[in-house]
């Protein structure tokens, strides 16, 4: 694993699906680029999750983040992908909806996939998932954006406010994958959550004319006989019959 780039601002990046974004679908060394945004309430462990994924390390304290972008390479199904991970500032819920500023919206639009995080020790962070998921989908109208729901801080069971089972139910209702993780104690869950997203994006990005598809479309179809052919065959059959009759 290698950190290639660190701390760019999301304003520099075009929205996914735009012409400019299509041009930058390739990362360093011409690798396929997968852009992932990590969103959720404040204090749920977004920065910890991103840093754990990038460095395999858990560092106890982080500065409140203002939206850093990191890049690393991963192997997915035999292909090396360049992944950009965008950490985002914490979201708060108000009576009349979520507090998503333009910076956050730009980041969500930019992303090919989103990790939505809540903490099992913070019921409020769980409560805003439904609205947040809806908001994410609205910013990607017309496409099915790959999303993974992550329930963090699984090591803090003694102060849990949300049963992880609820997270699983919510994820299946929203149609996304679910991972219960402890960023502080377990790297595998974190890795798997990002890995499954990369796979989904990779399958989505696969151009329609993939080698497999092209191969199937090249299989020669049986020719249906045209009228000329039918006439010729009919004549042949007729003359054979005539020959048989005359020889009797």
Ligand X SMILES: Nc1nc2c(ncn2[C@@H]2O[C@H](COP(=O)(O)OP(=O)(O)OP(=O)(O)O)[C@@H](O)[C@H]2O)c(=O)[nH]1
Pairing assessment for the beta strands 147-152 and 113-119 based on DSSP bridges: parallel
Part of the chain binding ligand X (CB under 6 A), chosen from 46-54, 95-103, 130-138, 170-178: 46-54
Closest approach of Cβ 13 to ligand X, in Å? 20
Of 33, 72, 31, 35, which is closest to residue 51 (Cα–Cα)? 72
CA 17 centroid distance within chain: 14
Least distance from ligand X to the Cβ atom of residue 56, Å: 14
Token pair for residue 237?
């059959």
86 binds ligand X (CB under 6 A): no
Give CA–CA dist 248/245, Å, rounded: 5
For 139, the token pair is 């910013």
Instruction: State how beta strands 69-76 and 147-152 pair.
Output: unpaired
**Closest by alpha carbon to 141, among 13, 11, 17?**
17
Nearer to ligand X, 90 or 167 (CB): 90
Nearest approach in angstroms of CB 15 to ligand X is 22
Determine, following the binding rule CB under 6 A, whether residue 93 of this chain makes contact with ligand X: no
Contact 29, 79 (CB under 8 A): no
Of 57 and 215, which has the nearer Cβ to ligand X?
Answer: 57
CB of 189 to ligand X, least distance (A): 10
Q: Is 48 helix (H, G, I), strand (E, B) or coil?
A: helix
Based on the shown chain and the rule CB under 6 A, indicate whether residue 48 belongs to the binding site for ligand X: yes
Q: Is 180 in the site for ligand X (CB under 6 A)?
A: no
Q: Is 32 in the site for ligand X (CB under 6 A)?
A: no
Q: Which stretch binds ligand X (CB under 6 A): 6-14, 36-44, 95-103, 202-210?
A: 36-44
Binding site for ligand X (CB under 6 A): 42-48, 60-62, 64-65, 89-90, 152-153, 155-156, 182-184
């Amino acid at each position: 694993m290698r950190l290639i780039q660190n701390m760019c601002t999301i304003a520099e990046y075009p929205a996914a699906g735009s012409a400019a974004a299509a041009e930058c679908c390739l990362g360093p060394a011409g690798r396929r680029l997968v852009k992932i945004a990590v969103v959720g309430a404040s204090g749920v462990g977004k920065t910890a999750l991103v840093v754990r994924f990038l460095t395999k390390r858990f560092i106890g304290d982080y500065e409140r983040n203002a939206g850093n972008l990191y890049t690393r390479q991963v192997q997915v199904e035999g292909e090396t992908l360049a992944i950009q991970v965008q950490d985002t500032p914490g979201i708060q819920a108000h009576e009349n909806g979520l507090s998503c500023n333009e910076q956050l919206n730009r980041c969500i639009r930019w992303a090919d996939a989103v990790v939505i995080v809540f903490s099992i020790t913070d019921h409020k962070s769980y409560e805003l998932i439904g609205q947040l998921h809806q908001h994410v989908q609205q910013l990607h109208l017309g496409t099915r954006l790959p999303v993974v729901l992550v329930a963090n801080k699984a090591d803090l069971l003694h102060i849990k406010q949300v049963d992880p089972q609820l997270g699983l139910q919510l994820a299946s209702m929203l149609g996304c994958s679910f991972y219960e993780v402890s960023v502080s104690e377990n790297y595998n869950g974190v890795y798997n959550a990002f890995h499954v997203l990369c796979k989904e994006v990779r399958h989505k990005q696969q151009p329609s004319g993939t080698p497999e598809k092209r191969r199937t479309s090249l299989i020669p179809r049986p020719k249906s006989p045209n009228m000329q052919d039918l006439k010729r065959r009919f004549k042949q059959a007729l003359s054979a019959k005539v020959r048989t009759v005359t020889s009797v």
